[in-house]
Amino acid sequence: MITATGLTKRYGSTAAVDGLTFEVQPGIVTGFLGPNGAGKTTTMRLILGLDSATDGSVTVNGQSYRDKAAPMQEVGALIDPSAVHGGRSAYNHLLWQAQAGGIRRSRVDEVLDMAGLAGVARKKVGGFSLGMHQRLGIASALLGDPPVLLFDEPVNGLDPEGIQWIRALMKRFAAEGRTVFVSSHLMSEMEQTANHVLVIGRGRLIADVSVEEITRRSALSHVKVVSQRAHELSGHLEAHGASVSNGTPHELTVTGLDAGAIGAIAFQHGIPLDELSPRRASLEDAFMELTRDSVEFRAGSRPSDPATDVAEIARELAGKAN
Amino acid sequence: MTATTTSLHDMRASTAPGFATTLQSEWTKLRSVRATWIIVALIIGLSIGVSALTSLVAGLTYDNWGNGAQASFDPLVSSLTGQLFRLILLIVLAATVVASEYGSRMIRTTFIVNPRRTQVLVAKAALVGALSLVVSAISVPGMFLVSQAIFEHYGLATASISDSDTARLLLVYTVSQGLVYTLIPFAIAWLLRSAASAISVSIGFIFLTSVLSPLVPVWVQQNVLRYLPDMAANTLSGMTETDASTHLAQGPAIAVIVIWLAGMLAAAAFVLNRRDV
């Protein structure tokens, strides 16, 4: 379990991470979602003790990272996978890490195998592709067979086959009871892998929700109904438990009933319809709705308009999704 | 590709990491890149090669030298002309070992796998220092012996390693220079985190005394320069004439070297532990 309490990192007057409080639970994949530059990597670095917090704290299984006796056997991390010495072989790159962590040598071959790199173990990593660097980074994270795994943008640069592989891997690790914390700037990626997401924007936590909740909200569709007798129809729909709002005098936006049910009610009362069309809420809308509370709560605490901020973040997250 | 993870706690054969595992890990890092061995080969090859070459030139041209030049021929000093290459390349070796990790950003992985930063620094220092001593123990006597053989072949005066002054000089060059010229650049590299700046600052700083001493007032030599590490190492070697006011005695010179090395390493460790990686 990872626990952050009021975690803050300031560079001069700019807060890269601003009062983050959250818990990452074992047994599920927790996504860490935010646009580029939102503070995801800084948070990961704070968890791993690379940077020290300006304020607040973060612990892994109740202990700060730099206090751990055998950190590799507790936490595995994939951060900046291209940060390797190009002249060293993949095997030796993993060997020095295994030795530093007190991990048996034979484990190096095991993780090379797992990451699909056994064939290039003796090749210099300088010649590796982006995807191979990513696999090598994942291999190092797995060296200590750790119960806690941190992945910073693990699908970056992977081919579709590699993406499937890392998704399956993360799900299996979670199923094995490990804590899996994965960052991404794509909401669609999180929908594929995560059970829970922490959404961060400009260093602040703006949502801490289950993916189920997001999916439910984004599935929350409304139906557009146009009829000359809209007012009359509206009363009948509300009697069936729908919530209805008027756009123009003849146009209704109906939630709580699907198009089929609305058509049946209209037919039953002999009301002719000009248009009956189901509309799906966009991911962006669902996200906006989710974060509305936290936005209002924070209103006034920032010089810029917080609602605009969140809208911007939502567009970035959803817009980049396919 | 088919991922077969081992069970959650199948790490029985693993041990708790400590200084020994850190040393082992840093040794793997050092030996597994070609750059290390290229620099080692260059130090030995260039220092001995250049000394042999200048000795050969001395031997071939000696008969044409003037009487004064012939009289002042010192077979010991003349055998160590490759020193400069050895010293500069030792600085390069030490600075590169640290700065290459910053250059590739691999330093983050180093401190993720082992957050005990002082332990990493000490292990690296021990290995770089030991490597430098081994390389120096080959190149310093190597320069001397090859050159003496050449001098002898041409009938020039020779120095003998059984002479105690000669032996002391070779020992001091091997040990105290071997440590000063690697551990000070090593510490500077941790502070500056870039190979280029660490090498230039180290060369400037270490050679400062040799460059400045003829130029500055005696007061500065007495109160500043003689406390600098290179001057102290020179004093130990017995190479410079021991003028009590501008040079230290043996004991204090050793103390000055030890204080410099310990102080620089402590400063590097202090900054390293407080700074974000």
pLDDT per position as a tens digit, B221-267: 888 888 888 888 888 887 666 566 777 888 888 999 999 999 999 99
Nearest CA in chain B to A178: B8
Chain A residues in contact with B101 (beta carbon < 8 A): 85
Number of Cβ within 10 Å of residue B257's Cβ equals 25
Mean pLDDT, rounded, for B67-95:
94
Q: Is B118 on the interface with A (CB under 8 A)?
A: no
DSSP H stretches of helix in chain B: 19-31, 34-61, 67-71, 83-103, 107-113, 117-153, 164-172, 178-192, 195-212, 218-223, 229-237, 250-274
Parallel, antiparallel, or unpaired: how do β-strands A29-33 and A196-201 relate?
A: parallel
- Enter the pTM of the model: 0.84
Chain A residues in contact with B127 (beta carbon < 8 A): none
Mean pLDDT, rounded, for A248-273:
90
Q: Is A158 on the interface with B (CB under 8 A)?
A: no
Mean pLDDT, rounded, for B74-99:
95
Residue A310: per-residue pLDDT = 66
Q: Is A142 on the interface with B (CB under 8 A)?
A: yes
The answer for residues whose C-beta is within 8 angstroms of residue B49's C-beta and 6 or more apart is B82
Q: Which residue has the tokens 């790490």?
A: B11
Residue B13's pLDDT band (cuts 50, 70, 90): low
Q: Is B67 on the interface with A (CB under 8 A)?
A: no
Number of Cβ within 10 Å of residue B72's Cβ equals 10
Query: Mean pLDDT, chain B, as a whole number?
Result: 90
- Find the CB nearest B115 among A66, A102, A176: A66
- Find the CB nearest B21 among A89, A102, A172: A102
Residue A293: per-residue pLDDT = 52
Res B191 pLDDT > 90: yes
Residue B222: per-residue pLDDT = 80
Nearest CA in chain A to B32: A88
Mean pLDDT, rounded, for B113-133:
97
Residue A287: per-residue pLDDT = 66
CB pairs below 8 Å between A and B: how many?
A: 133
Residue A216: per-residue pLDDT = 66
Residue B8: per-residue pLDDT = 47
- Find the CB nearest A169 among B3, B14, B277: B3
- Find the CB nearest B32 among A69, A88, A165: A88
Res A204 pLDDT > 80: yes
Residue B35's pLDDT band (cuts 50, 70, 90): very high
Mean pLDDT, rounded, for B104-114:
96
Angle B44-B48-B54 (CA atoms, 0-180°, nearest 5)? 150
Q: How far is B217 from chain A (nearest CA, A)?
A: 44
Mean pLDDT, rounded, for A273-293:
71
Share of chain A above pLDDT 90, in %: 62
Say if residues A57 and A241 touch (Cβ distance below 8 Å).
Answer: no
Kindly report, residue by residue over A174-191, the tens digit of the pLDDT.
999 999 999 998 877 887
Res B153 pLDDT > 90: yes
Q: Is A165 on the interface with B (CB under 8 A)?
A: yes
Q: Is A203 on the interface with B (CB under 8 A)?
A: no
Distances (CA, A) of B150 to A50, A265, B134, B261: 56, 112, 24, 37
Mean pLDDT, rounded, for A257-281:
89
Res A309 pLDDT > 80: no
Q: How far is A92 from chain B (nearest CA, A)?
A: 7
Res B163 pLDDT > 70: yes
Residue B225: per-residue pLDDT = 83
Residue A246: per-residue pLDDT = 82
Reduce the secondary structure of chain A to three states and give it as a string: CEEEEEEEEEECCEEEEEEEEEEECCCCEEEEECCCCCCHHHHHHHHCCCCCCCEEEEEECCECHHHCCCHHHCEEEECCCCCCCCCCEHHHHHHHHHHHCCCCCHHHHHHHHHCCCHHHCCCEHHHCCHHHHHHHHHHHHHCCCCCEEEEECCCCCCCHHHHHHHHHHHHHHHHCCCEEEEEECCHHHHHHHCCEEEEEECCEEEEEEEHHHHHHHHHCCEEEEECCCHHHHHHHHHHCCCEEEECCCCEEEEECCCHHHHHHHHHHCCCCCCEEEEECCCHHHHHHHHHHHHHHHHCCCCCCCHHHHHHHHHHHHHHCCC
Q: A75-89, A301-315, B242-256: lowest mean pLDDT where? A: A301-315
Share of chain B above pLDDT 90, in %: 71
Mean pLDDT, rounded, for A40-64:
96
Nearest CA in chain A to B28: A96
Q: Greater confidence, A319 or B45?
A: B45
Res A23 pLDDT > 80: yes
Residue A321: per-residue pLDDT = 38
Residue B202: per-residue pLDDT = 94
Chain B residues in contact with A178 (beta carbon < 8 A): 8
Mean pLDDT, rounded, for B109-119:
96
Q: Is B29 on the interface with A (CB under 8 A)?
A: yes
Q: How far is A304 from chain B (nearest CA, A)?
A: 30
Residue A296: per-residue pLDDT = 45
- Buried-exposed string B124-139: b where 16+ CB fall within 10 A, e elsewhere: bbbbbbebbeebbebb
Chain B interface mutation, best of A75, A145, A163, A178, highest count of B Cβ atoms under 10 Å: A145
Chain A residues in contact with B109 (beta carbon < 8 A): 83-84, 97, 140
Q: Greater confidence, A84 or A157?
A: A84
The answer for residues whose C-beta is within 8 angstroms of residue A148's C-beta and 6 or more apart is A1, A2, A26, A60, A61, A74, A75, A76, A178, A179, A181
Mean pLDDT, rounded, for B21-48:
97
Mean pLDDT, rounded, for B43-61:
97
Chain B residues in contact with A172 (beta carbon < 8 A): 3, 5
Residue A67: per-residue pLDDT = 94
- Find the CB nearest B108 among A83, A89, A168: A83
Q: Is B70 on the interface with A (CB under 8 A)?
A: no
Mean pLDDT, rounded, for B172-189:
95
Q: Tell if the CB–CB gap between B110 and A100 is shorter than 8 Å.
A: yes
Share of chain A above pLDDT 70, in %: 84
Query: Mean pLDDT, chain A, as a whole number?
Result: 87
Residue A88: per-residue pLDDT = 96
Chain A residues in contact with B4 (beta carbon < 8 A): 113-114
Mean pLDDT, rounded, for B190-196:
96
- Buried-exposed string A161-191: b where 16+ CB fall within 10 A, e elsewhere: ebbebbbebbbebbeeebbbbbbbbbbebbb
Chain B residues in contact with A64 (beta carbon < 8 A): none
Nearest CA in chain A to B110: A97
Mean pLDDT, rounded, for A37-58:
95
Mean pLDDT, rounded, for A255-270:
90
Residue A223's pLDDT band (cuts 50, 70, 90): confident
Chain B residues in contact with A113 (beta carbon < 8 A): 4
Q: Is B26 on the interface with A (CB under 8 A)?
A: yes
Res A213 pLDDT > 90: no
Q: A87-101, B91-105, B110-124, B226-240: lowest mean pLDDT where? A: B226-240
Q: Is A45 on the interface with B (CB under 8 A)?
A: yes
Res A299 pLDDT > 50: no
Residue B4: per-residue pLDDT = 42
Mean pLDDT, rounded, for B148-152:
97
Q: Tell if the CB–CB gap between A100 and B114 is shorter than 8 Å.
A: yes
Chain B residues in contact with A103 (beta carbon < 8 A): 11, 14
**Strongest mean pLDDT among A185-194, A217-226, B82-91:** B82-91
- Find the CB nearest A145 among B1, B3, B10: B10
